[in-house]
Structure 1
Amino acid sequence: MSLENLVNRIGIEAKNRDSKKVDELLYQLCEYENLKILDIYPYQIKSNEKFSQVEVFFDKLESKDFQQKNQEFHSYFKSLEKFEKFFELIWLGSSEFYASYDVPLTLYKDTMYYKFYEREWNEILPKNREESNLINIDDYSMLLSLIKLAVSDHLDVFFIIPEKNIVFRGGGLAFIIYSEQNLDLFEKIANTEGLYIR
């Protein structure tokens, strides 16, 4: 099945609220290679040594970074805000915006990633825990919670936008883009927010 057909099927099944079928199709989607990436850098950084000096992943931060609001803290939050604004604009322009995500089996409540985003975890965890969740995001705070947990690399989330025939997969400071559509509009929005599609 072509990438375009697969993404189209995912959109159809998301509209039908068939989470099991969406999960099966997303699994197939993950097998595709050579895809576009929404990233904080305009090109791939080939030197791991250089990258490790500038990376601002959530897990690199310590409690003191959050208490003192130091440079690492501000760098992480500046990057997070770029993704929040990008997806906010996409969400506002879409009549349907779905999210599919796997609920972690165990949440370690004593860890910083849980304590710092406790409100966000409580918002996305359903009352009756399932292996995965498929929701149409109508609530802005739910969108922000999912983005925060995805950008901090603690939740693997798929954003499905059927009318644009596009799926974003997030985890960390980059989102994989599954689409064969023209991405010019998305690229303009990304560049406006200080992100890059490459």
Structure 2
Amino acid sequence: MTDVKPKYANFPEREFKVVIGPNINASTTKTLTRMSIGTYEMSFTQQEKGTATTECARLALGGLARATGLTVTKEAHRDFVACFVAQNAEQKIQLWITTPFELTQAGHVVWCKFSELGGEGKIGVAFKLSTGYTADDILNVVKAAQKAAVKLEGDEPFTIKGNPPPRFVKKTKAAADAPADGTAAAPASPETANPAG
């Protein structure tokens, strides 16, 4: 069996490595490994979409900050449309809005990194690739990063995973619902099977 080389995503933090894991389609994988065009080469339409996404991110993080006591700051960066950091004593949430990948399209990625500052030091990463976002979309990316948080050892890269196809989810759920001792469920008695008859 041949070893498959890991595909690394073009994650905004250069020191932190992110591997593209299973159940992420080929076009998304290709996009996540590409370099974006940068803020200086964006068209007017792309700038408008980036500004709208930035406003949605500000609203989403502002609402989250009020609910959880986070302090939100926006950082200037020449390679991204916007960068936000929301943190308190227990957690740190970093959000990056990339520029598009081609001059003719407006699709861009919102990356989120969740870091647990105390306790186990878990780290989670999530992304969403789209041409337009709402505040709920941004909040869902943050929640996905929190849900995906795991403890990493040393320089171990984080692996982002997609959603498995529904046919595989059904099989694993059916296997989990099966009795553990290997016996089949008892058939219903004739009296309880048809109470009208």
Shorter-chain-normalised TM-score: which range? 0.3 to 0.5
Identify the structure with the greater strand proportion: 2
Identify the structure with the greater helix proportion: 1
Name which structure has the greater RCO, CA cutoff 8 Å, separation 6+: 1
State which structure, 1 or 2, has the greater radius of gyration over its C-alpha atoms. 2
TM-score, length-normalised on structure 2?
0.34
TM-score, length-normalised on structure 1?
0.34
